[in-house]
Structure 1
Amino acid sequence: MQNSDTNERAFSIAMSHARAGDPEAQLAVGQMLLNGIGVARSETGALHWFLAAAAVNVPMACNMVGRCCELGWGTPRNTSDAMIWYKRAATLGLDWGMYNYATGLSLGWGGARDLDNALSWFRRAAALGHCKSFNMIGTFYEDGWAVGRNRARARAYYARGARCGDFRAHFNFGRFLRDEGRGVEAEHHFSVARDKGTVAFVAKMDDFFHQEASAERNVSHSREPSARSDVLPC
């Protein structure tokens, strides 16, 4: 009850500042409405306040408008519109905007797939320490997307992603460790991936382990840019 009262007070204060034109408060109100913190959940209301903050180029607000367009929160799903907002967030210097824009480029949202440009944006996000981007760069090197195949570089990027906590990177680094005969260390990374991963991702892990004979084909497909496996946190 105390937490509920605290959240309601926090929402009331944030809304007061948002209505007064504070863009950071507008972003906060949008997040609270989207997650139902201190107020009933409202995707339409969240989008309204994200748009208000995005109008003055708050980077995360631009990214969140993109998320709304991508996932159909408060508006019909439209990945072309999502890419417009992700690109704006990316050019404003937001690592999540860079990652989401790169993901869209790799999937061909709003146009043809552009793996070269996608890799460039993943690199920019990684330079800011974005964990999921380390994993994606590793995938590019492992599978030879826009670069020559290079397992050593793939391994290094997976290791960096695992060190900063990305569950996909833990799984991918674990695969490399297992191939090197370092089974105990590999199992540790698989365990972390299972604990932190989404339901969809854990199901893919199970498929990998249950179908060793076709593992390389199945894992390659699960990592294809055309098969984004879950919703990305913002």
Structure 2
Amino acid sequence: MEKVDQIEKVQNNTAGNAGKALTREELKAFFDRYFQVKAFCDAAALRSSMPEDLQLRCREIKAQYEALDLDCITMASCKSIQQLYAQLAELEKALEPYPAQEVVVLETDDEAETEFDNVEDDAIRRNKRRALRLNVAVAVIVLGAVAGVLVLLVPVQWVQNAMGCIYYYGRVGEVDYTEAERWFRKAAEAGYAKAQYNLGMCYDTGHGIKQDYVEAVNWYRKAAVQDHELAQLALGICLEEGRGVEADYAEAVRWYEKSAEQGVPEAQYRMALYYYKSEDEPNHFQKAYRYFKKAAEQDHAQAQCRVGRCKELGLGTERNWVKAEEYYRKAIEKGDSKAQYYLALMLTDSKFSDKDRLEAADLMRKSADSGNSDAQYELGRFYEEGIGVKKSRKEALRWYIKAADRGNKKAQEAWEQLVPPVK
């Protein structure tokens, strides 16, 4: 999943609106309160001889809590939360005469209860059941779930995978890959697709366990057949590269397509590359462009560069240099060196001004500095011909040599022409 701390993100986004963002501890307290409210209101339905109006009030308060969105929850001055707390206090007092029955709020087992019982937060922990709920609340917070989609019954495998993520990314405390792998394995062996993907990732990277590409493929495949979109992408990459499995590009493409259909931008980009190179495929440029465009719309830098290239050359779409420049610049904002290279070349066209050629030289230098051998060759040519820079045979030779050292044949030829061998 992809990897941003939702709490910090929301705190930053809402601080200006609310005057003061909630602390992590306050967020934890709210989510723990949220689970209490749900359990309390569900338990109310089991109270003996409870008046109908109180039953209705329980349902209303529960519905109001479930309707809260994340922005509302994270605003310290939110009146809705304060009002709900007040209403809940009144309801709790009204329900005191009616005996309550226990309500199970989490699917669990003895092992999970024992292990979760070791997680302490003295401010809100009261007993084993509440300690279990706290673990879910912490997992919800660090993984960025919203109150509107939380449910009363949470599968143990969900919690195990969430705890694995907490340790893997260091959301609460230090990163601990060994603990992460242990939690992922519990859920993965029970058939939980997200955990199977995460366990595959541990084997793939060697985080928390000895690196084993064969095992990585094994767990990726288990998750992929359950339609886990990132596992489908990961399995496709392994098949394309022959990592942990015999290389099979045709099968890789089938998995890329499944992942792309679920909206994964990297999978869409790889499908675009497949069609771009498939000259025997009817309308292959049009199909490639459609996939490039889908990935580009999700801020995939390489796809944005490719859309720019298609627009510049009219491949699979109408030629449009204004749009080409727009997409190149989007990719450049993300540091894409290919986009710097292509836009630099485009700006040297006679349609553009001397000022544009100055920018072209600057962009080409940035791309060359990143190690792009094509850009290194072109920058050498810029110096040789004086495009956007002062002519310099010495600088031209320097950049030709850099590119030639990286295997660029054009640079090798240019170098030999600039400095003919001694006979």
**TM-score, normalized by length of structure 1?**
0.76
Give the whole-Å Cα distance in 2 for the aligned partners of 1:24 and 1:112.
35
Write out aligned runs for 1:79-228 (5 A): 79-108=249-278, 112=281, 114-176=284-346, 180=353, 181-182=355-356, 185-186=359-360, 189-190=363-364, 192-193=366-367, 197=370, 202-211=372-381
Give the whole-Å Cα distance in 1 for the aligned partners of 2:326 and 2:293.
14
Q: Which runs of 5+ in 1 are unaligned?
A: 214-221, 223-234
Give the whole-Å Cα distance in 1 for the aligned partners of 2:381 and 2:328.
23
Shift of the alpha carbon at 1:177?
5.1
CA separation of 1:6/1:153 partners in 2, compared to 1, >3 Å: closer, same or farther?
A: same
Give the whole-Å Cα distance in 1 for the aligned partners of 2:326 and 2:175.
47
CA separation of 1:78/1:211 partners in 2, compared to 1, >3 Å: closer, same or farther?
A: farther
Cα deviations by residue, 1:131-184 (Å, 9 ceiling, x for unpaired): 221111111122221234332221111011112333322333344456643466
SS in 1 for 2:234: helix
Alignment pair present for 1:61 and 2:207 = no
Any conservation in 2 of the 1:178–1:186 contact (CA below 8 Å)?
A: yes
Give the whole-Å Cα distance in 1 for the aligned partners of 2:277 and 2:200.
27
Any conservation in 2 of the 1:34–1:42 contact (CA below 8 Å)?
A: yes
1:29 pairs, out of 174, 183, 199, with 199
Cα deviations by residue, 1:202-222 (Å, 9 ceiling, x for unpaired): 223223323558xxxxxxxx9
Q: Which has the higher helix share?
A: 1
Alignment-derived partner of residue 208 in structure 2? 38
- Tell me which amino acid in the other structure corresponds to 2:315: W
Give the whole-Å Cα distance in 2 for the aligned partners of 1:69 and 1:112.
22
SS in 2 for 1:136: helix
Shift of the alpha carbon at 1:37?
1.8
Moved more, 204-213 or 77-86: 204-213
Give the whole-Å Cα distance in 2 for the aligned partners of 1:205 and 1:167.
9
Shift of the alpha carbon at 1:191?
5.6
Identical-pair percentage: 23
CA separation of 1:188/1:209 partners in 2, compared to 1, >3 Å: closer, same or farther?
A: closer
- Tell me which amino acid in the other structure corresponds to 1:88: K
SS in 1 for 2:191: coil
Cα deviations by residue, 1:37-80 (Å, 9 ceiling, x for unpaired): 22222211111111111111111111111111111111222211
Q: Which runs of 5+ in 2 are unaligned?
A: 1-169, 385-407, 409-423
- Tell me which amino acid in the other structure corresponds to 1:168: K
Give the whole-Å Cα distance in 2 for the aligned partners of 1:8 and 1:188.
46
Give the whole-Å Cα distance in 1 for the aligned partners of 2:361 and 2:329.
14
Any conservation in 2 of the 1:98–1:125 contact (CA below 8 Å)?
A: yes
CA separation of 1:17/1:141 partners in 2, compared to 1, >3 Å: closer, same or farther?
A: same
- Tell me which amino acid in the other structure corresponds to 2:221: L
SS in 2 for 1:147: coil
Higher RCO, 1 vs 2 (CA within 8 Å, ≥6 residues apart): 1
Give the whole-Å Cα distance in 2 for the aligned partners of 1:135 and 1:100.
14
CA separation of 1:18/1:147 partners in 2, compared to 1, >3 Å: closer, same or farther?
A: same
Number of aligned positions between the proteins: 208
Moved more, 185-194 or 54-63: 185-194
Give the whole-Å Cα distance in 2 for the aligned partners of 1:193 and 1:61.
33
Any conservation in 2 of the 1:5–1:38 contact (CA below 8 Å)?
A: no
**TM-score, normalized by length of structure 2?**
0.44
Alignment-derived partner of residue 228 in structure 1? none
Give the whole-Å Cα distance in 1 for the aligned partners of 2:333 and 2:305.
11
Give the whole-Å Cα distance in 2 for the aligned partners of 1:80 and 1:27.
22
- Tell me which amino acid in the other structure corresponds to 2:258: R
Larger Rg: 2
